[in-house]
Amino acid sequence: QEARAAAGLVHGNIVQIHEVACVEGVHFLAEEYVAGPTLKTWLTVRGPLDARQAVTVLGQVGSALARAAEQGVVHRDIKPENLLVTPGGDVKVADFGLARVLTGPEGMDLTQDGMTLGTPLYMSPEQAEGRAVDARSDLYSLGATVYHLLAGKPPFDGPTPLAVAMAHINQPATPLATLRPDLPAGLCAIIDT
C-alpha cells in the first residue's frame, strides 16, 4: 500500500514508479530507468562536490521531498546511494521502499513507531530512536547526505551501526567549515543546521 502511495508521486526529481505488483508471491516495483550514477558513485569517481553542485542537489532533492511531504509521504532513507544523476545533470530521488505514508485511509501505515528503518549514516535522531518521523526527518537526512558529498565523509562514523545512530542523537557533527574552509559560510551554516 505504501509503495502504491509512493507511485502516486509525480515530480521531475523523483524516479517514477510505473507499476507495483505481486507475481507468484514475489512483490516488485517497476521504476523509471535513470541512465546515470548515484551520488555515491559520483563522489567516489569525482570527489567532493563544489558549492554550486551542492546547492543544485539541495534544491532538486528538497523540491522532490517537498512534493512527497505534500502527499504525506516520508522517504526515510535519503542517502547518496538513493540519489541518481541523469545524463542532463538532474538529480532524482529513488528507492521509496522504506517510505511511510503519514496520511491516508485506515491501515495505510504499514510500519509503526518504535521500528528503526533506514541507513544509520544519514538517519535523523528521532528515526534512530524509533520515534515518529515526518518530513523533517528527510530534511535531516538530506543535510547529512550533502555534508558527506561536500566533506567526503559522513557527519558521523563508528564501529557499529548502533554507534553511528547514537552519535546522531548525542553528538554534534564537526562543523563543515572546519573540513571545507573553501565553501561559503552560508552554505556551511545551512548544512550544519
Tell me how many degrees the CA angle 84-87-91 measures, rounded to the nearest 5: 35
H/E element holding 6? helix 2-7
> Which residue, 54, 69, 89, is CA-closest to 188?
54
User: Which of the residues 50, 77, 113, 138 is marked catalytic?
Assistant: 77
> Comparing C-alpha atoms, which of 139, 122, 55 is closest to residue 89?
55
Q: CA-CA distance, 169 to 159, in Å (whole number)?
A: 16
Helix (H, G, I), strand (E, B) or coil at 35: coil
Cell numbers linked to 55: 546547492
Q: Is 157 a catalytic residue?
A: no
Q: Which residues pair with 31 in a beta bridge?
A: 17
CA angle at 135 for the pair 29 and 100, rounded to the nearest 5°: 35
Residue 36: CA count within 13 A, CB half-sphere? 19
Indicate which residues carry an active-site annotation: 77
